[in-house]
Amino acid sequence: MLRAVLRQSISNTTSRLCTRISSRRFSSRRHRFITNPHHRSLLRQHLKLIPTAKPPLFNTHFFPLLTRAIATSAPQTSPDVYDAPEKLGFEKVSEQFIQECKSNAVLFRHKKTGAEVMSVSNEDENKVFGVVFRTPPKDSTGIPHILEHSVLCGSRKYPLKEPFVELLKGSLHTFLNAFTYPDRTCYPVASTNAKDFYNLVDVYLDAVFFPKCVEDIHTFQQEGWHHELNDPSEDIIYKGVVFNEMKGVYSQPDNILGRSSQQAIFPDNTYGVDSGGDPLDIPKLTFDEFKEFHRKYYHPSNARIWFYGDDDPIERLRILSEYLDMFDASTAPNESIIKPQKLFLEPVRIIKKYPATEGGELEKKHMVCLNWLISDKPLDLETELALGFLDHLLLGTPASPLRKILLESSLGEAIVGGGVESDLLQPQFSIGLKSVSKEDIQKVEDLVMDTLKYLAETGFEADAVEASMNTIEFSLRENNTGSSPRGLVLMLQSIGKWIYDMDPFEPLKYQKPLMALKAKIAAEGSKAVFAPLIEKFILNNPHRVTIEMQPDAKKASCDEAAERELLDNLKAGMSNEDLAKLVRATQELRLKQETPDPPEALKRVPSLSLQDISKKPLQIPIEIGDINGVKVLQHDLFTNDVLYSEVLFDMSSLKQELLPLVPLFCQSLMEMGTKDMEFVQLNQLIGRKTGGISVYPFTSSVRGKVDPCSHMIVRGKAMSGRTEDLFNLINRIIQDVQFTDQKRFKQFISQSKAQMEDQLLGSGHGIAAARMEAKLNVAGWINEQMGGVSYLEFLQALEEKVDLNWNEISSSLEEIRKSLFTKSGCLINLTADGKNLTNSEKYVSKFLDSLPTSSSVKSKTWTARLPSTSEAIVIPTQVNYVGKAANLYETGYEFNGSAYVISKHISNTWLWDHVRVSGGAYGGFCDFDTHSGVFSFLSYRDPNLLKTLDVYDGTSDFLRELEMDDDALTKAIIGTIGEVDSYQLPDAKGYSSLLRYLLGVKEEERQKRREEILSTSLGDLKEFAETINSIKDNGVVVAVASADDVNNANKERPNFFEIKKAL
């Protein structure tokens, strides 16, 4: 686990191809085939009036699992701390002060059950709790995954349908989720409010230990699977949230590859099956097996429990004792032990097929991935750390040799495989390419092996080693966990060893092994450290599995036909009485799903009151100044001696026809060289001197204005002592990079095309949202040109003509640079403490003086939109992504803060109940972009199409007929405040303040909107019904869906969809 910080390194580009998965919200990420946690996704990304989202660049790519809390000294311990644990039934196993995270950590064991508790105390207000069970499955019916969903659907103390949703509605949580690994299931929560935190803890403890689902087959059917039949004359179908979620997973080639790889590497233990569930196997799971799995594994004896933060450590144990004391010890720890996989004596080769679209060059769409099981047992700390370092050297940046050589080979379009993975009992290494020609499969394998042999023989460049080391040490110092609570990241790090009965403290203590590794490299040289690792664990390791994935245009239809035949045969064997019984069962389940919880049950879920909520919005310090005629925003915040900078350039002078080139322009800046420096050297220099630099466009509508806000943002960070280096490198990137490397540019096109195809298959809801926005406003059109279906079409066309038109393309890239990077269109945003802000000014001044004064190109007016027709983007998939949207401002609606409450309430009630619960989709939600006025509905991994649109159209009636008491309304308000006040680290605070400045959101308006949120009434919700009705009548529809579902929709509603084939 220590080496996790190395493998998840900061990307110096806008196009990172070796990322890790975290299936949340609007993410579009490659498979991480080892852990692949199935998150209980909230599936929401509200575009708030008060922007808090960070751009999808270097900070979101980096998720360090070696973190520091906020405390600066060991907490003072009172005498009661020593006596109270014993009185509460706990014995202290070990206590250590973890210098790396400035925390006092105590490992307790509950004497009666053997449950283990890690209690981490520090001054971090973002408190974290988690309970983790070892849950090894024996088959691919998805039982751990279905149980993870189901236990949060009501419990002994909270006997309502979904306490989880009630917490979503009315909590100030900073994290609320659950996820399933191949061998464990995690239930974490976090909050900065102590009362709210303990409410969350109590609901989760009752949920995992005393769930209703083990007594209620309806929950199993809803979350897992069931046969659905509405009328004896209709076809029987499968329904279930997890069933449809996994159909979506198994529609993505990268996910199929990942699962095939894991199961082939581990054929003899629990990792040889899919804990998430294979749609072919999920319907084999019985309710009795489901109940028995909970009885066996969801027991305190099999639990690891984590607390972190500034709350009372004795209160933690008191809460736990109330639950744990109700149990006796069980044999679960022995029954859940993960058996290691023995190493193969010779390599294995496996060929699999994946669903592809008919037409196109299928012969060039093969995938190949080489996978090694590194060891037959867990590794020692120093070896694991060295392997993580090696992983970063091989694959961590665009300049890393294995990554660079594979992509430059032109044998494939993008990297597959996760590199070194050590999240399970035994570590693995995987690497390969996608979009490979059939005849080149062996060439890819040979290239991987030859490159690794060469690196073992010659070693790595000294600059590359220095850059990797700086990246690692910077990341540890910065401690930037993005939007995830630091305590959660620490928990996942610790549990990676703890779950296998190893030392939970060890993964938290990295300084000593890191210093030892640095000393060894200094004394013996990097080759002496890394060459033996390559040879022992990869080159001379017979436990190698090569997976070849072949595209099959008929696979999706054959799979659907096989499912249809199975269900038709089932129906044919049923009597009229059997069919009537199934119809009644379908009706009973739907009735239960649609019956609201009684008020007395809802009141049992603990919640805050409005008195617990601050009446004022969170303030971020900002000082607006001027350096050399350029406006500079400064945010005086403690950043642990890191300076965060954003350099913005106005994009309004850019020609409309050049917009689709902008993403490739950004990648070219970061991955092409200068006159005197190759891109590898430039990349290494960035790694040696800074914490990362990235370049990307930002475009948004501005409320009340016709023209959008559009800027190019160059984002960087460095230790304060490296501020001069940071701005010198930014200047070199934007002014000196040469757009002359035609071969590399062709690689960028291929990589970008592969990324867009991945997004279509895995994040169709994001594609649908972008497409709808492009039909409704100019900013949406611009973004879609640079990241939607239009961009994919541009890439496909550009790939065909890049050789013929290279001079023209190179000139266009230069034209973009000259149009953008001038002093007259510049804005600087800086976040650091006051002293470092002052020290940075002279380097900012020097940087600004180096910029051209102004551009000869005048501002352009962008006016384009896509036609507002209903559109279906057809892809090979077993599930759909369905969207509908309209611009509410065009109907005359005047924005009020109550709209935040209303949209959240619609998501958490009407859409959750009808799109997800009864509809079977993995998610359904709505979003109101208050800057553009666009209100959109979206579904995720949805088995339906027109039915979902009918649900959207029923929203106005839902609001008109809505009745809710004061408690329900208060919950809705508090939950909205929780989102508005989302917890942020310093860099995110500075960035959010920048976005408010750009979009004209002033503090007076923030206060006004907060007051409107807090004073939201039932009347506001009912009144909004008329506003939202415009979406029903005039909304645009975009669905990313299968050809069969689109054709059936057009039969039912003739010519409803215009069809666009995207893949």
Segments in 250-358 forming alpha helices (H): 253-265, 287-297, 313-324, 332-335
What whole-number distance in Å separates Cα of residue 643 and Cα of residue 201? 36
Strand arrangement of the beta sheet that strand 826-832 belongs to: 623-627, 630-636, 826-832, 642-650, 709-719, 692-700
793 Cβ contact partners less than 8 Å away, ≥ 6 residues apart: none
The three-state secondary structure class of 89 is coil
Question: Which is the catalytic residue, given 148, 166, 646, 784?
Answer: 148
Contact 728, 716 (CB under 8 A): no
CB atoms within 10 A of CB 1051: 9
The three-state secondary structure class of 437 is coil
Pairing relationship of beta strands 303-309 and 116-121 according to DSSP bridges: parallel
Residue in this structure with the two tokens 């949805």, named with its chain if needed? 942
- SS3 letters across 208-241: HHCEHHHCCHHHHHHHCCEEECCCCCCCCEEECH
What whole-number distance in Å separates Cα of residue 795 and Cα of residue 643? 36
The three-state secondary structure class of 550 is strand
- As given in the structure block, the two tokens for residue 436 are 């490979």
What whole-number distance in Å separates Cα of residue 485 and Cα of residue 924? 25
Listed residue (157, 160, 161, 133) closest to 147, CA to CA: 133
148 is annotated as an active-site residue:
yes
CB atoms within 10 A of CB 640: 15
CB atoms within 10 A of CB 802: 17
Residue in this structure with the two tokens 């917890």, named with its chain if needed? 983
Contact 705, 774 (CB under 8 A): no
1026 is annotated as an active-site residue:
no
What whole-number distance in Å separates Cα of residue 249 and Cα of residue 256? 8
CA angle 487, 489, 491 (to 5 degrees): 70
Question: Which is the catalytic residue, given 223, 413, 421, 671?
Answer: 223
CA angle 182, 183, 189 (to 5 degrees): 95
Listed residue (474, 452, 468) closest to 399, CA to CA: 468
The three-state secondary structure class of 421 is strand
Contact 436, 364 (CB under 8 A): yes
H-helix or E-strand spanning residue 518 = helix 511-524
The residue ranges of DSSP E strands in 148-223, in sequence order, are: 175-176, 179-180, 184-191
What whole-number distance in Å separates Cα of residue 451 and Cα of residue 684? 20
Classify residue 380 by burial, with Cβ atoms within 10 Å: 0-12, 13-18, 19+. Answer: exposed
Give the CA diameter of the chain: 85
317 Cβ contact partners less than 8 Å away, ≥ 6 residues apart: 84, 85, 88, 90, 108, 117, 119
What whole-number distance in Å separates Cα of residue 45 and Cα of residue 43? 7
C-alpha distances in angstroms, 51 versus 729, 991, 994, 1004, 1031? Answer: 29, 9, 9, 15, 25
The three-state secondary structure class of 356 is coil
Give the type of residue at 550: Q
Listed residue (263, 280, 281) closest to 272, CA to CA: 263
Q: Which residues are catalytic?
A: 148, 223
